[in-house]
Structure 1
Amino acid sequence: MVGQRLSIVTDKPQTTRHRILCICSGSDYQMILYDTPGVLREQRHKLDSMMMQNVRSATVNADCVLILVDACKAPEKIDEVLEEGIGDLKNKPPTLLIMNKKDLIKPGEVAKKLEWYTKFTDVDEVIPVSAKYGHGVEDVKNWILSKLPNGPAYYPKDIVSEHPERFFVAEIVREKIFLQYRNEIPYVCQVNVISYKARPNAKDFIQVEILVEKNSQKIIIIGKEGKALKLLATAARLDVENFLQKKVYLEIEVKVKENWRQDVGFLKHSGYGGQIGIV
């Protein structure tokens, strides 16, 4: 809806960690959207609980809430998830359930799942969409606009996010980690942009560190003769260049920081307390 991809996407759960602000502006409207982490029923680390704080805080003053589900998966009751993320369902804002990936199942199956969610879920409306092909996206936009109050625009119309470029660079690197590595590796990685130097007559210089919790995890990230890290850096650099629309020199170093997912001070500094810190 904002015209470009701002959130990283993989097929693994809990890819999104931060609450990402997106701005969608038209001739007579402006929508401020928050893409939040998914609701975690089991919170094993301080990181998990702080991510859930981000989810809840995003809904406190929301004019409406969107819940995204995979249309390819069997329907399941999500009222417990709603309550965990929103709070008291009796006082919840208008809520829309979006069934994404409708293009991957038959129309009859879409209709059955739409009927099921409408009947068994405490939401105001269900809209099936295909984000890949744009089907149903306009219906979602119109639903949101019908719930928004009249008021002034908060941002210039050419702005799509308030996050700095270095935040998106870190997110792109983290996305490539999710795509390249398996098991627990993507979940133990924290990506920080240590240095970002814009150079008008040369490639921008970007220095990134990947933090893991154990040396064995560091070894996996680097790979034999550094080949895995080189592959990661190349994939990340290409996407960063596409996002920034300029050539960059990307340097990545892997370090060990034991139990960083339990370090509240570090997590707040890294933006998990709500505002994006120095990443």
Structure 2
Amino acid sequence: MSEQPFRSGFVSIVGRPNVGKSTLLNRILGEKIVITSDKPQTTRNRIQGIHNIPGGQIVFIDTPGIHRAKNRLNKFMVEEALASIEGVDLILFLVEGDADPAREANMIKEVLSGVNIPVILVMNKIDLVPKGELLERMQCYGETYPFKEIIPISAFTGDGVEQLVKLVHGLLPEGPCYFPDDILTDVPERFVVAEIIREKIFRLTRDEVPYSVAVVVDSFKERPDGLVAIAATINVERDSQKGIIIGKRGDMLKKIGMQARQEIELLLDTKVFLELFVRVSPEWSENSRMLKEFGYH
């Protein structure tokens, strides 16, 4: 009996903001490496998640949501997403299960124009859609673009995700193990720590604040006793936003710090001392130098 070939490759996860791309990647990996929130445009950078299975390694690329960009930061995010479909072996195009296929059609055609690799349409949040409607929507999408497959899932509950991973694995070419089998992502711990802090800001502050926040880890030191001391700066664009993040008597900043520290300790599996600072960096999201300094380049 011949041994099955080892299959590996790179798979880009693309779609509109807030369709569940990061939730899907975290679900597949069984660990949280990408921040999530109920607000759109939470993800800003491309992040690779490495999933090892018997006979294969799948490198999933989580991307920012594709949207009409207005400022330099948003343009960077869209460019990151569109660049991710170049040089990969497969694309997962995510849509919300209850989205109108006619509304999605133009974006699908625009984003996938000129693509000559397999594309799987992933209909997420199917728990929100009656079964009869779901089948009808799947048929409509099938007339929009020649998808390799159309797979309904719920990234939140995990329904259909295992089937999706098996399908992806079967479509990948024979190839090497690109990463050691004991790592989940290629991004450094400092990046993940900054993202965890930013997620807590997304979840805890008012709507206008998160989009004007950039987090920079200034220092990351492991002490002889094993404790990790981290200092990070939260950059905002206006004094009023600084006031909201600090809160009355510093209450909001303490809450952000406490929740972030607890999650960072789980990530690093050690005790953490986290120190947060807030700085006003006017119009950083339009400033090329600052965008580069904050990791958006």
TM-score by length of 1: 0.90
Q: What whole-Å deviation, never above 9, does each CA across 1:150-183 have from its counterpart, x for those lacking one?
A: 1111111111111111111111111111111122
Q: Which amino acid aligns with 1:146?
A: G
Determine the structure 2 residue equivalent to 1:40.
67
What value does the CA root-mean-square deviation take over the aligned residues? 1.8
- In the alignment, the residues of structure 2 paired with residue 272 and residue 122 of structure 1 have an alpha-carbon distance, to the nearest angstrom, of 34
Q: State the secondary structure of the residue aligned to 1:61.
A: coil
Q: State the secondary structure of the residue aligned to 2:80.
A: helix
Q: 2:128 aligned to 90, 95, 104, which one? A: 104
Q: Which moved more, 1:194-203 or 1:253-262?
A: 194-203
- In the alignment, the residues of structure 2 paired with residue 64 and residue 195 of structure 1 have an alpha-carbon distance, to the nearest angstrom, of 37
Deviation at 1:148, TM superposition (A): 1.4
- In the alignment, the residues of structure 1 paired with residue 102 and residue 141 of structure 2 have an alpha-carbon distance, to the nearest angstrom, of 8
2:54 is the counterpart of 1:27: yes
- In the alignment, the residues of structure 2 paired with residue 209 and residue 77 of structure 1 have an alpha-carbon distance, to the nearest angstrom, of 40
Deviation at 1:121, TM superposition (A): 4.7
Determine the structure 2 residue equivalent to 1:169.
193
- In the alignment, the residues of structure 2 paired with residue 104 and residue 138 of structure 1 have an alpha-carbon distance, to the nearest angstrom, of 19
Distance 1:83 1:212, change over 3 A: farther
Q: 1:49 aligned to 63, 75, 80, which one? A: 75
Superposed counterparts of 1:170-189, under 5 Å? 170-189=194-213
- In the alignment, the residues of structure 2 paired with residue 216 and residue 91 of structure 1 have an alpha-carbon distance, to the nearest angstrom, of 45
Q: Which amino acid aligns with 1:196?
A: F
* Number of aligned residue pairs: 270
Q: State the secondary structure of the residue aligned to 1:208.
A: strand
- In the alignment, the residues of structure 2 paired with residue 265 and residue 83 of structure 1 have an alpha-carbon distance, to the nearest angstrom, of 34
2:265 is the counterpart of 1:238: no
Superposed counterparts of 1:1-279, under 5 Å? 1-41=28-68, 43-86=69-112, 89-121=113-145, 123-273=147-297
Q: State the secondary structure of the residue aligned to 1:16.
A: coil
5+ long unaligned stretches in structure 1? 274-279
Distance 1:83 1:256, change over 3 A: farther
- In the alignment, the residues of structure 2 paired with residue 207 and residue 256 of structure 1 have an alpha-carbon distance, to the nearest angstrom, of 17
Q: Is the 8 A contact 2:123 2:151 kept in 1?
A: yes
- In the alignment, the residues of structure 1 paired with residue 99 and residue 70 of structure 2 have an alpha-carbon distance, to the nearest angstrom, of 25
Distance 1:175 1:56, change over 3 A: same
Deviation at 1:63, TM superposition (A): 1.1
Distance 1:85 1:195, change over 3 A: farther
- In the alignment, the residues of structure 1 paired with residue 86 and residue 129 of structure 2 have an alpha-carbon distance, to the nearest angstrom, of 35
Deviation at 1:40, TM superposition (A): 1.6
Identity of aligned residues (%): 39
Q: Is the 8 A contact 1:26 1:157 kept in 2?
A: no
5+ long unaligned stretches in structure 2? 1-27
Deviation at 1:39, TM superposition (A): 0.3
